[in-house]
Amino acid sequence: MRKGLVLNLAILMMIGALAFAGDKGEQKTLKGTLSCMGCDLKMESGAHSQCKVYGHKHALKLKDGSYVSFMENDHSEKLINAADGKWHGQQVEVTGKFFAKGNVIDVTDFKTSDKSFGWCAGHKGMDQCSSHGM
């Protein structure tokens, strides 16, 4: 029984790995609204999200109503947290490597309605300084 469970788990892991194999990503710029997907799905579809317990995780809501998640790293932290709620509901333009199979974008830079952000190696964060190439 235990061997069968381990074998099934191994097969599922291989299938998962194959599903993402070959998706090298494509550089894209996407426009949409910063929105908490959990809250939206709770209001629209009755999903059992618990954002008040686990926190809001913002995603990019596209015109067609679909969502693109942000690869969770230091480049996307401000977007995921919507700058601590200040950017919730705002239009943003995000550039990065888009992985279609995961419907996720690995952010390189982004623009809000009035500001542009890019990675600054000197400050080790996404900011608006002019030394992005450091």
Q: What is the pLDDT along the chain (134 residues), one digit of tens a residue?
A: 555 544 555 555 555 444 445 668 899 999 999 999 988 888 888 889 898 898 889 999 999 999 999 999 999 999 999 888 899 999 999 999 999 999 999 999 999 988 888 887 777 788 887 654 43
Domain membership of residue 84 (yes or no) is yes
Rounded CA separation 112/76 (Å): 13
What per-residue confidence (pLDDT) applies to 54?
87
Domain membership of residue 37 (yes or no) is yes
Rg (CA), the chain: 18
* 107: containing domain: 25-127
What per-residue confidence (pLDDT) applies to 15?
52
Domain membership of residue 102 (yes or no) is yes
Domain membership of residue 65 (yes or no) is yes
Domain membership of residue 50 (yes or no) is yes
Number of domains in the chain: 1
What per-residue confidence (pLDDT) applies to 18?
44
Domain membership of residue 118 (yes or no) is yes
Domain membership of residue 48 (yes or no) is yes
CATH number for the domain spanning 80: value is 2.40.50
Domain membership of residue 14 (yes or no) is no
Backbone angles phi and psi of 109, in degrees to 5: -160, 165
Give me the half-sphere count of Cα atoms (radius 13 Å) on the Cβ side of residue 47: 13
